[in-house]
Amino acid sequence: MALIVLASASGSPGVSTTALGLTLNWHRPVLLVDADPTGSSAVFAGYFHGTQEPTGGLINLALALREGTLAAALPRETLLLDPEAPAERAPWFLPGIRAHEQAPSLLPLWEPLAEQLRALDRNGQDVIVDAGRLGLAGWPQPVVAASDLTLLVTRSSLPALAGARSWAKMLRDQFAAAGGLSRLRLLLVDEDRRWPAMPTGVPRVRPYTPRHIAKALQISVAASVGWDPEAAEVYSHGARKPRKFESSDLVRSYRTAASLIHSVLTSHQAALAHPTSLTSGGRA
């Protein structure tokens, strides 16, 4: 089981759409948690197209925490995202708040909820958390701290990277202090990976490469997903799937990203299970 958090530093790089796209193309049973403090209810208004009755979600869990029934309440507040998905990779959804004014009331919930989410390994479930924009009132910082992998989502243009720089440093410092810098990576929303490389000496105004971005933000890139606003409306707005949607570049990029994220998690877990032992000479 893995607890994976997606968050952004600034702007609207598509965290909610990316989190949903990864969830619906995940390789195992997975729970998507809407922890966005803006209260946008993106899945209900977008993917469900307003046809699904919202549940109390996180607000009900906050009430259950006060009553000491959080563990029992968690499964009652989840919804099946895709009833047609095979059981071996069924995607579930835990709704978030409906208004940003509710976000501060969730502060006592985040730490115990993180413990419950990590305990979902008994069901063989992974968890993907949409944390929205970092630093807003009520943001789920304890969930970020408890994650197996936090992905800072950014587009690949210069304005996006400028907005991400200070938050990238803050996250690096926090994860490094906890001895877990390997649990922090970048997830790029590639605004156009088809553009050719710029000639030598020509200023680069088009999106930057993963190598340049990793160097600028000093965080390794876990994966990239496509930038296709029209196809993404299937997830973000509940649009009808176009022909060959399942084989589209966007969906293939989500599946590839899911596989790469899984590889990062597997490598990290293997390193924890078999830590390097140092000899007196300082060699492994």
User: Do the domain assignments include residue 72?
Assistant: yes
Band (pLDDT 50/70/90 cuts) for residue 192 is: low
Residue 205 has pLDDT above 90, yes or no: no
State pTM to two decimals: 0.89
Q: What total of structural domains would you count in the chain?
A: 1
DSSP the chain: --EEEEEESSS---HHHHHHHHHHT-SS-EEEEE--TT---HIIIIITTT-SPP--THHHHHHHHHHT-HHHHHHHT-EES-TTS-GGG-EEEE---SSGGGGGGGHHHHHHHHHHHHGGGGGT-EEEEEEEETTSTT--HHHHHH-SEEEEEEESSHHHHHHHHHHHHHHHHHHHHTT-GGGEEEEEE-S-TTSPPPPTTS---SPPPHHHHHHHHT--EEEEE---HHHHHHHHS-PPPPTTGGGSHHHHHHHHHHHHHHHHHHHHHHHHHSPPPPPTTS--
Q: In the predicted model, what is the mean pLDDT of residues 34-50?
A: 86
Band (pLDDT 50/70/90 cuts) for residue 282 is: very low
> Tell me, what CATH number does 108's domain have?
3.40.50.300
User: Do the domain assignments include residue 276?
Assistant: no
User: Do the domain assignments include residue 281?
Assistant: no
Q: In the predicted model, what is the mean pLDDT of residues 47-73?
A: 90
Domain extent, residue 154, equals 3-196+205-271
Whole-number average pLDDT of the chain: 86
What's residue 76's pLDDT?
A: 93
Band (pLDDT 50/70/90 cuts) for residue 280 is: very low
